[in-house]
Copies of this chain bind each other. A is one copy, B any other.
Amino acid sequence: MTTSGFKLNHSMLRVKNPKTSLDFYQNILGATLIETFEFQAMGFTLYFLGFEAGLVDQMPSDRAERIQWLANQSGLLELTHNHGTEFDDSFDGYHNGNTEPKGFGHICVSVPDVHAACDRFEAMGVEFVKRPNDGSMKGIAFIKDPDGYWIEIFSPVDLTNVILEHT
């Protein structure tokens, strides 16, 4: 099979301020920072985050082995920081794809309990696009990351109920 071993390794989003974004993805969404690649001469840094449990214990300690391991994972998030944007008052920020011109829509984090997760996000000051009880799609929420990218939040049971009701 010519596509054997193909994996969806990551999705990449540009971020204005890596400190703010890493705090959000690690402390609010529980992601693990796997690797940081700083391309000093080219003026950008890449941050690779994973969401599976136990990643810290799985990662090889040798850097070359860890990068190969990273490249064999699925479902990672890559954040790209173009140096200087965080201090640039003339920088308008990034486009989240949900206003014109549209394209990319969102990433989605599946959680065991969407209501408990969203109560915690609310208490931590996270901005919502849609709370779980808003609209007709009960149990599906959308929050914003620090750059305004949308993150869908659902739990498997609630998603199933919505899909079976509407399709």
- Which A residues have a C-beta under 8 Å from some C-beta of B? 1-14, 28-31, 37-42, 50-53, 63-64, 67-69, 71-78, 80, 92, 94-97, 101-112, 117, 120, 147, 149, 152, 154-157, 159-160, 163-164, 166-167
Complex formed: what's the CA distance from A164 to B64 in Å? Answer: 7
Complex formed: what's the CA distance from A2 to B123 in Å? Answer: 13
Closest chain B CB from A128 CB (angstroms): 17
Copies of this chain per assembly: 2
Q: Are A74 and B72 in contact (CB under 8 A)?
A: no
Selected from B6, B92, B101, the residue in CB contact (under 8 A) with A110 is B6
Chain B residues contacting A117 (CB-CB under 8 Å) are 6
Q: Are A156 and B80 in contact (CB under 8 A)?
A: no
Selected from B4, B13, B63, B159, the residue in CB contact (under 8 A) with A103 is B13
Complex formed: what's the CA distance from A78 to B72 in Å? Answer: 21
